[in-house]
Amino acid sequence: MLKYIIKRLIMSVFILLGVSMIIYFLIRLMPVDFIQSKIDAINQGGATVSEETVKAMYEIYGLGDNSFLGILKGYFGWLGALARFDLGTSFKYGLPVAQVIYEHMGVSFLIALIATIFEFMIAIPLGITAATHQYSFRDYLVTVLVMIGISLPSFFFGQMLKNILALKLGWFPPSGLVDATVTVSGFAFLLDYVRHIFIPILTIVILSIGARMRMTRTNMLEVMNSDYIRTARAKGLEEKVVINKHAFRNTLIPLVTSLAGLLPSLFSGAIITEQVFDLDGIGKFALDAMNAGDIPFIMGYNMFLALLSVLGVLLADLMYGIVDPRVKLE
């Protein structure tokens, strides 16, 4: 096991190097000069930016030399900063990129974690019951829920829930994380926080359970037709034992595979949902930075997600050996 982990960590380093090259060269090859656009916006506002300041801005972000050797020099300079855990300074926020991510990923992580827990609690049992009652009313109901979850855009469904539950019925606040007009503490503050994040979490859960239910149902149907399931039934085992102990356990590997993308999703933020409900999560800040052409933030944020993706794949591989002892990690 230790040998396998060390081998995968070494491979992960090379993967991250490749990702860093792709990110950096794509940013450098983009046809839009974001710094020049920012300078033009400053000039239109009435201020004047000197040539020395313009040159200094290009040099700060390693964009002063557009020759091949200059690009290579800029890449290795940025790579060296990454090795020191320095993601650069945000062009838009004027703070270190790592600081911006750290300060705002907590909101996104909390919402995503709660939504993921409810997603698994709802989607997996519904997928199992749909597979064990194929072509019944339950199966058709689950199919309808799957279609709703897959088809509805998050901005549309989130805005619809916001209009109904918040604006019309007034049951929940329409946006934000806390009520700025009221000063509360203790349990009252916690209750206010829960009321604010309820609709965003509900939006994410409803739109995400469809794919998880379909995956569970498909895998369960495949396993239920296996010979060892028929043998278990022929031996007189209870149906719930056949389903929960024998059938469901063998559907865990595809579910574990899907967990590889879970780790980055917990920290990346629900960009559109955070925009709809005006939540100060990392997804909203990332979108604003991208719209503003914040080059250091774009590169640093994507490298952060790449690192989480690599770790997620590694954890998923290790989970295979836990859910299925037949899988040997060598």
Q: Is residue 115 part of a domain?
A: yes
pTM given for the model = 0.74
Q: Is residue 235 part of a domain?
A: yes
Q: Is residue 137 part of a domain?
A: yes
CA distance 275 to 158: 10
Q: Is residue 301 part of a domain?
A: no
Q: Is residue 222 part of a domain?
A: yes
CA distance 101 to 166: 29
Reply yes or no on whether the pLDDT at 55 is more than 80.
no
**Can you spell out the DSSP letters for 135-178?**
TSHHHHHHHHHHHHHHHS-HHHHHHHHIIIIIIIS-SS-SSSSS
CA distance 133 to 143: 12
Q: Is residue 95 part of a domain?
A: no
Q: What is the pLDDT of residues 80-139, one digit of tens each?
A: 888 888 887 787 777 888 888 888 888 888 888 888 888 888 888 888 888 877 788 877
Q: Is residue 253 part of a domain?
A: yes
Q: What is the pLDDT of residues 59-70, one digit of tens each?
A: 666 666 667 777
pLDDT value for 297:
84
Overall domain count for the chain: 1
The domain spanning residue 192 has which CATH number? 1.10.3720.10
Q: Provide the residue range defining the domain that includes 173.
A: 100-294
Residue in 309, 326, 329, 306 with CA at minimum distance from that of residue 317: 329
Q: Is residue 49 part of a domain?
A: no
